[in-house]
């Protein structure tokens, strides 16, 4: 004969099970990570892949990967013999037009030249000077300069190669750095541009810093109920590398 449980015993088991489930749920809630810690990524403040404005043969590359460059520094140059000859030719024409104006200046002052003749001489000089500017502009297109202060990180081409919209060098800016993070919708409105947020940098930096919020996206990702923010991190000594993970300490 199978023994039956009394009502008191069954009630005790049910209550005990409920307490156990409640305890397990409470433990689970207590161990979930809070919203005050958000994963993020440190990226270069600016980065660019550089090529040439016009097609041509790469004459020289003035910098190597790892080199620091300032804005305006020459990075690489295309062969430019034809453009240099064009500049010399247009300068000669402009000099001739200028001398012609000087030779005819006394006749102009005495009114010995007609209005059409004076206009022809003056126009010839103006056009010659414009051609000089155009030739110099084409010559300048043969040289590529650094668009901002930063480090050269990769070289894609070699001297002697024909370049036509071909990447030549990659440059990155490491001061300031940029931090991107995705936050849950519950945090929307709590963070604004201009706020300062603590950031824990992972290896190899391994320290806490403060970054400034530069951007709060106004479009919510409905599928994940999240939104993105962008921060700026000053790095004057250049000792914080880009590409490391980090965590935001939300207020």
Number of residues in the chain: 251
Q: Which domain holds residue 127?
A: 80-141
8-34: pLDDT as tens digits: 343 343 334 443 333 333 333 333 344
125 within some domain: yes
| Cα angle for residues 171, 176, 179 (degrees, 5° grid) | 95
Cβ count near 176 (within 10 Å): 19
- Candidates 48, 41, 42; CA nearest to 172 is 48
The span from the CA of 55 to the CA of 214, in Å, is: 38
pLDDT confidence of residue 103:
80
| The model's pTM | 0.73
Confidence at residue 36, expressed as pLDDT on a 0 to 100 scale: 65
Q: Which residues lie closer than 8 Å to 176 by C-beta, 6 or more apart?
A: 45, 232, 233, 234, 235
Structure tokens at 190: 């709590």
Give, in degrees to the nearest 5, the angle at Cα 185 between 180 and 25: 110
Q: How far apart are CA 96 and CA 48, in angstroms?
A: 44
Q: Which of 92, 125, 141 is the last residue of a domain?
A: 141
Q: Which of 141, 158, 186 is the last residue of a domain?
A: 141
Two structure tokens written together for 79? 């062969």
Residues 182 and 236 in one domain: yes
> Which residues, at least 6 apart from 89, have a Cβ–Cβ distance to it below 8 Å?
135
Domain limit, last residue, from 141, 160, 188? 141
φ, ψ for residue 92, nearest 5 deg: -65, -45
> Can you give the pLDDT at residue 141?
95
Residue 64, in any domain of the structure: no
What residue ranges of the chain have pLDDT lower than 70? Answer: 1-36
* pLDDT of res. 205: 92
CATH number at residue 208: 2.40.30.170
Distance in angstroms (rounded) separating the CA atoms of residues 234 and 178:
9
Instruction: Tell me what percent of the chain is helix, strand and coil, each rounded to the nearest 5.
Output: 35, 35, 35
Q: Are 133 and 198 part of one and the same domain? A: no
In this prediction, residue 163 carries a pLDDT of 93
Q: Establish if 58 belongs to a structural domain.
A: no
Q: Of the candidates 145, 147, 132, which has an alpha carbon nearest to the alpha carbon of residue 77?
A: 145
Return the residue matching tokens 């200046």: 105
In a domain, 168, yes or no: no
- Distance CA(186)–CA(110), nearest Å, equals 85
The rounded Cα 53 to chain-centroid distance in angstroms is: 19
Q: What is the pLDDT of residue 9?
A: 44
Number of separate domains in the chain: 2
In this prediction, residue 153 carries a pLDDT of 96
Number of CB atoms found within 10 A of residue 6's CB: 9
What integer pLDDT is reported at residue 117 of this predicted model?
80
Report yes or no on 104 lying in a domain.
yes
Domain CATH number, residue 120 = 1.10.287
Residues 235 and 187 in one domain: yes
Distance between CA 29 and CA 196 in Å, rounded? 29
Q: How much is the pLDDT for 12?
A: 44
């Amino acid at each position: 004969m199978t023994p039956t449980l009394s009502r008191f015993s069954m009630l005790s088991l049910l209550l005990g099970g409920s307490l156990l489930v409640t305890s397990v749920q409470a433990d689970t809630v207590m161990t979930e990570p809070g919203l005050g810690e958000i994963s993020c990524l440190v990226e270069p403040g600016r980065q660019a892949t550089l090529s040439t404005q016009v097609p041509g043969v790469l004459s020289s590359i003035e910098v190597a990967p790892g080199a620091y460059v300032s804005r305006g520094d020459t990075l690489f140059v295309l062969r430019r013999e034809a453009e240099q000859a064009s500049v010399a030719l247009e300068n000669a024409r402009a000099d001739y037009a200028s001398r012609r104006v000087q030779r005819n200046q006394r006749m102009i002052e005495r009114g010995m030249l007609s209005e059409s003749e004076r206009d022809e001489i003056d126009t010839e000089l103006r056009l010659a000077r414009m051609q000089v500017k155009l030739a110099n502009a084409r010559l300048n297109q043969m040289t590529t300069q650094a668009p901002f202060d930063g480090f050269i990180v990769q070289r894609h081409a070699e001297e002697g190669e024909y370049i036509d919209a071909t990447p030549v060098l990659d440059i990155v800016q490491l001061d300031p750095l940029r931090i991107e993070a995705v936050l849950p919708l519950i945090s929307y409105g709590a963070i604004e541009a201009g706020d300062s947020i603590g950031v824990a940098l992972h290896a190899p930096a391994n320290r806490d810093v403060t970054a400034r919020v530069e951007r709060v996206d106004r479009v919510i990702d409905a599928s994940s109920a999240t939104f993105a923010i962008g921060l700026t991190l000053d790095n004057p000594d250049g000792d914080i590398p880009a590409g490391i993970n980090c965590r935001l300490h939300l207020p």
